[in-house]
């Protein structure tokens, strides 16, 4: 019997996806504070405050996978479903746009544009989807190691990886050659191991995190915001800090990790009673990844913002009210469209899976699932 999705965890997925939309809105609005920004306005301050509180979203997604990923059996069919889910968007969206007469990457880049549609993982059409796909492939190896290692061994390995890929880069004010700012599977593995360790051996640390998780999240976010404004203020006199100014919003920055851990435990301690609200949370969490695949498609990534803000008649740059109104409308429209489209995709996939299950390929995948389950058992 399939395990029931936890409503509080699915609510966290949903909130994290809203955070992702907010970050992308800030990026497209032009109010993301940079070293070139000469003066602050209310829009810049609000944008950076939102960015500081939302930057933990990606780590929160991966932390969920690490916390619960060691529980179930590894299934190759899950990796295939993820791959086909990504392909559904990368292949279908350009077809729709071409039918509407809207230019696509295919028109602009020719065969390389086609490669990004047909091979979205290899071409990093979506960087997160690529890194997460590789994490899915590595999960059986990670889980085997996690369950085989002693508590002390797992702690040493996890702390060692964090020192190399998180702590050092968080304090060194120059770019390190191996650092990809957390936009890769190596960092996802680090977060996965942290989550797995806390689940297995957290003990008193978990109790503390359950109690003070929200405070940890808020404190981490406020520190990111304060450091950002502080460094920006002194940049004219200390130009050497220009790179470190960007580090504060790298996913492998220490405060981005602590903030994500705090946010996870803030939701983890929530008790959502079974009923209609719990089912809504589960359904939203199930379909919310489609929001990302929709609005971050290479043909829509920089298209949806002018389309939506232009059609709703809101001048974002005029005042703080326009900025907030445009943000709310974009979040509502993208969220609703993404969930609805992914719901339709799921219905299509159910039909296709039933048909494919009777074929040689479908039976082979089922046998692979059974083999992996027996191996892990």
- Residues 6+ away with beta carbon under 8 Å from 28: 302, 304, 305
45 lies in some domain: yes
Range of the domain at 350: 7-376
- Compute the C-alpha angle 256/296/278, nearest 5°: 70
pLDDT digits (tens, 9 = 90+) for 244-262: 999 999 999 999 999 999 9
Query: 3-state SS of 323-370?
Result: HHHHHHHHHHHHHHHHHHHHHHHHHHHHHHHHHHCCCHHHHHHHHHHH
2 is a domain residue? no
- Alpha carbon distances (Å) from 113 to 84, 94, 109, 299: 19, 10, 5, 10
- Would you put residue 203 in left (φ > 0), alpha (ψ -120 to 50) or beta? left
User: Which tens digits make up the pLDDT trace of 194-214?
Assistant: 999 999 998 889 999 999 999
**Who's near 338: CB < 8 A, 6+ residues apart?**
287, 288, 290, 291, 292, 293, 294, 295
Dump pLDDT digits (tens) for 22-75.
Answer: 999 999 998 988 888 888 888 899 999 999 999 999 999 999 999 998 876 778
Q: Among residues 344, 23, 70, which one has the least CA distance to residue 192?
A: 70
Q: Is a pLDDT exceeding 80 seen at residue 311?
A: no
pLDDT at 252: 97
Question: pLDDT by residue (tens digit) across 173-186?
Answer: 888 988 999 999 99
Task: Confirm whether 1 is domain-assigned.
Answer: no
Rounded Cα–Cα distance for residues 104 and 238 (Å): 43
Element (H, E) at 112: helix 111-118
Q: What pTM was computed for the model?
A: 0.93
The pLDDT of residue 322 is above 50:
yes
CB-based contact 251:58 (threshold 8 Å): yes
What CA–CA distance (Å, rounded) separates 107 from 101? 11
In a domain, residue 360? The reply is: yes
- Mean pLDDT across 104-124: 89
Q: Does residue 335 belong to any structural domain of this protein?
A: yes
For residue 130, being part of any structural domain is answered with: yes
**CA–CA distance, 29 with 309 (Å, rounded to integer):** 10
Give the pLDDT score at 294.
Answer: 97
User: Is 215 part of a structural domain of the chain?
Assistant: yes
Number of domains in the chain: 1
Q: How confident is the model at residue 315 (pLDDT cuts 50, 70, 90)?
A: low
Q: Is the residue at 204 inside a domain? A: yes
Q: Does residue 370 or residue 111 have the better pLDDT?
A: 111
Rg (CA), the chain: 21
pLDDT band per the 50, 70, 90 thresholds, residue 376: low
Mean pLDDT of 346-373: 78
What CA–CA distance (Å, rounded) separates 282 from 208? 27
Tokens for 112, please give them.
């390389």
SS3 label, residue 131: helix
Q: Are 290 and 342 in contact (CB under 8 A)?
A: yes
From the list 338, 374, 363, the residue with the least C-alpha distance to 85 is: 338
- 2 band by pLDDT with thresholds 50, 70 and 90: very low
């Amino acid at each position: 019997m399939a395990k029931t999705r936890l409503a509080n965890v699915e609510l966290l997925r949903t909130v994290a996806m809203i955070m992702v939309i907010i970050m992308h809105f800030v990026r497209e609005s032009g109010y993301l504070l940079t070293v070139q920004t000469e003066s602050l306005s209310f829009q810049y301050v609000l944008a950076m405050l939102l960015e500081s509180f939302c930057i933990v979203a990606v780590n929160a997604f991966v932390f969920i996978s690490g916390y619960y990923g060691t529980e179930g059996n590894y299934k190759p069919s899950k990796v295939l479903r993820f791959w086909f889910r990504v392909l559904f968007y990368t292949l279908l969206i350009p077809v729709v746009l071409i039918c509407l007469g809207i230019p696509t990457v295919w028109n602009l880049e020719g065969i390389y544009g086609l490669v990004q549609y047909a091979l979205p993982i290899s071409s990093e059409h979506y960087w997160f989807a690529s890194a997460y796909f590789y994490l899915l492939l590595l999960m059986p190896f990670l889980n085997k190691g996690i369950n085989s290692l002693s508590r002390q061994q797992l702690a040493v390995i996890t702390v060692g990886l964090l020192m190399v890929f998180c702590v050092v880069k968080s304090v060194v004010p120059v770019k390190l050659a191996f650092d990809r700012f957390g936009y890769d599977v190596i960092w996802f593995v680090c977060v996965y191991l942290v989550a797995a360790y806390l689940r297995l051996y957290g003990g008193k640390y978990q109790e503390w995190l359950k109690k003070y998780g929200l405070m940890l999240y808020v404190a981490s976010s406020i520190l990111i915001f304060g450091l950002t404004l502080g460094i920006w203020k002194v940049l004219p006199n200390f130009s050497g800090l220009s790179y470190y100014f960007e580090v504060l919003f790298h996913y492998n920055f220490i405060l981005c990790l602590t903030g994500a851990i705090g946010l996870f435990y803030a939701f983890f301690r929530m008790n959502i009673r079974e009923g209609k609200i719990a089912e809504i949370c589960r359904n939203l969490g199930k379909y919310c990844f489609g929001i990302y695949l929709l609005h971050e498609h290479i043909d829509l990534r920089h298209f949806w913002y002018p389309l939506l803000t232009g059609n709703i008649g809101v001048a974002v740059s005029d005042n703080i009210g326009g900025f907030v109104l445009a943000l709310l409308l974009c979040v509502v429209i993208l969220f609703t469209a993404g969930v609805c489209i992914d719901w339709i995709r799921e219905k299509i996939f159910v039909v296709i899976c039933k048909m494919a299950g009777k074929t040689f390929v479908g039976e082979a995948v089922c046998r692979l699932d059974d083999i992996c389950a027996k191996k892990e058992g």
